[in-house]
């Protein structure tokens, strides 16, 4: 049975949850909502998709600012971009939102499922659903195949706008691209096109 959003998790007694986090800004509103729902959160920064490594570390450092605000434990997965590239092999030229992203979601959610198991944490969720650029239904279809996944659609109830507001309040770095080198190239091309149109 599909687990619907909106305080439906009142019946869960053991509220320990591992939260897969893509970046500090996205984590803000997700953490608030999970705390509201009574979850005890451990943060899991596992983002081998992010390129280059310096960007991965920059996003992690910004997450630490949010973690400190809430006094939450924040775990870091050592960077392994090679394995991620293997996972999306053959789909490099897909546009953002295409098949490569489905493989990327699967890769990242899988690391969360495994980490939650290792730590004996019964549930996990992902901040990826807060972005209006990411299809929550698709993320749920992928997550539902894994043990302990909870369907939190964090973009609901104005979650995305709220994450921007909170990020500004905390002075967090907000990136202009999703994460991988392919999305970086796509974003740079878009910015260059806009600049040409303006001049
Ligand atoms: S665009 Fe984003 S979601 Fe898609 S493959 Fe790249 S990093 Fe992953």
Q: What is the pLDDT of residues 175-197, one digit of tens each?
A: 999 999 999 999 999 999 889 88
Among 84, 179, 189, say which to mutate for ligand 1: greatest number of ligand atoms within 8 Å of CB: 179
Residue identifier of the C-alpha nearest atom 3 of ligand 1: 101
CB proximity list for 161: less than 8 A, separation 6 or greater:
none
Q: What confidence category does residue 4 fall into, taking pLDDT thresholds of 50, 70 and 90? A: low
Of 139, 164, 127, give the one whose Cα is nearest residue 23. Answer: 127
Q: Scan for tokens 């990242």, then name that residue.
A: 108
Atom of ligand 1 lying closest to residue 104 CA: 8
| Residue range 14-198, CATH number | 3.40.50.620
Least-confidence region, from 53-57, 114-118, 194-198: 194-198
| Predicted TM-score of the model (pTM) | 0.94
Q: Kindly report the length of the chain.
A: 199
- State how far the Cα of 27 lies from the Cα of 196, in Å rounded to an integer: 34
Q: How many whole angstroms separate alpha carbon 18 and alpha carbon 136? A: 18
* Centre of ligand 1 from the C-alpha of residue 52, in Å: 13
Binning pLDDT at 50, 70 and 90, where does residue 3 land?
low
Specify burial of residue 63 (Cβ count, 10 A radius: 0-12, 13-18, 19+).
buried
Confidence band for 1, pLDDT divided at 50, 70 and 90: very low
Mutate to test the pocket of ligand 1, among 47, 84, 101, 138 (most ligand atoms within 8 A of CB): 101
Report the atom number in ligand 1 closest to the C-alpha of 100.
Answer: 5
């Amino acid at each position: 049975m599909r687990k619907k959003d909106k305080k439906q998790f009142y019946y869960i007694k053991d509220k320990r949850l591992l939260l897969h986090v893509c970046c500090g800004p996205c984590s803000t509103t997700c953490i608030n909502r999970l705390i509201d729902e009574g979850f005890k959160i451990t943060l899991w920064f596992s983002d081998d998709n992010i390129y280059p490594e310096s960007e991965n570390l920059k996003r992690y450092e910004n997450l630490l600012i949010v973690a400190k605000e809430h006094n939450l434990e924040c775990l870091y997965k050592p960077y392994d971009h090679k394995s991620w590239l293997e996972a999306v092999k053959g789909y490099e030229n897909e546009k953002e939102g295409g098949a490569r992203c489905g493989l990327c979601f699967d890769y990242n959610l899988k690391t969360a499922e495994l980490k939650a198991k290792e730590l004996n944490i019964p549930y996990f969720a992902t901040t990826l659903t807060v972005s209006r650029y990411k299809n929550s239904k698709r993320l749920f279809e992928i997550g539902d195949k894994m043990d302990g996944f909870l369907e939190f659609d964090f973009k609901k109830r104005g979650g995305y706008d709220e994450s921007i507001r909170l990020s500004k309040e905390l002075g967090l770095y907000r990136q202009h691209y999703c994460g991988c080198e392919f999305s970086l190239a796509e974003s740079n091309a878009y910015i260059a096109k806009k600049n040409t149109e303006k001049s």
